[in-house]
Amino acid sequence: MPKIIPELREALINAARSRILNNESHDLTIREVARDCETAVGTVYNYFSSKDELLAAVMLEDWLKVIGRIDSAFGESESFDEGVRGIDAALRGFVETYRPTWKSYAGGYGVISEYHPRLIVQIESAVKRLAVRHSRAFTEDEITVVAEMLLVISQRTPAELEKALPIIRKII
């Protein structure tokens, strides 16, 4: 059984993040991450079964930070619209951080689609709490529709949110 060193797992994630965010090609290879951590390529596979899994680990850490920003955004919002804008800003930051990677790394979309249901559940939770905070009536299906809308809109221009806000207000 291979020896697992917790610090090395973190080092691998940090090296992968650095490669993703600071490399002009925005590509990720296991070989480069291993070299950055001065370890063998095979050792990386003791921690991550694939490049997709390593990419998902990097993104998960950043996604958890986004969830914290979303919670702050709606928690401090003085209006429903302001809360929706805050959720959008947090999502948009995550999307913009990883957009170049998704474009250059075809496997990235597979990672995204695999985690999509989890992302939606977390966005739904924020939208539901925002709606309750601002005394908006809603059904569970309406919350899901708005969560999906916000995820899609965050991948487009900021003006798209302003176009969608009247629709979101009608839904919730």
pLDDT for res 4 = 64
Concatenate the DSSP letters of all residues of the chain into one string: -PPP-HHHHHHHHHHHHHHHHH-TT----HHHHHHHTT--HHHHHHH-SSHHHHHHHHHHHHHHHHHHHHHHHHHS-SSHHHHHHHHHHHHHHHHHHHHHHHHH-THHHHHHHHHHHHHHHHHHHHHHHHHHHTT----HHHHHHHHHHHHHHTTS-HHHHHHHHHHHHHH-
Give the pLDDT band of residue 97 (cuts 50, 70, 90).
confident
The pLDDT tens digits of the residues spanning 100-158 come to 776 655 444 555 566 788 889 999 999 999 999 999 999 999 999 999 999 999 989 99
pLDDT for res 22 = 84
pLDDT for res 98 = 83
- In CATH, the architecture of 51-171 is Orthogonal Bundle (1.10)
Is the pLDDT higher at 97 or at 166? 166
Is the pLDDT higher at 76 or at 7? 7
Domain 1-49 shares a fold with domain 51-171: no
Give the residue extent of every domain in the chain: 1-49, 51-171
pLDDT for res 115 = 75
Question: What is the spatial distance between Cα 109 and Cα 155, in angstroms, rounded to a whole number?
Answer: 13
Counted residue by residue, the chain has a size of: 172
Question: What is the spatial distance between Cα 84 and Cα 70, in angstroms, rounded to a whole number?
Answer: 9
pLDDT for res 136 = 95
pLDDT for res 120 = 93
Give the pLDDT band of residue 21 (cuts 50, 70, 90).
confident
- In CATH, the architecture of 1-49 is Orthogonal Bundle (1.10)
The pLDDT tens digits of the residues spanning 36-85 come to 999 999 999 999 999 888 988 998 888 888 998 888 887 788 999 999 99
Kindly calculate the radius of gyration of the chain based on its CA atoms and give it in whole angstroms: 18
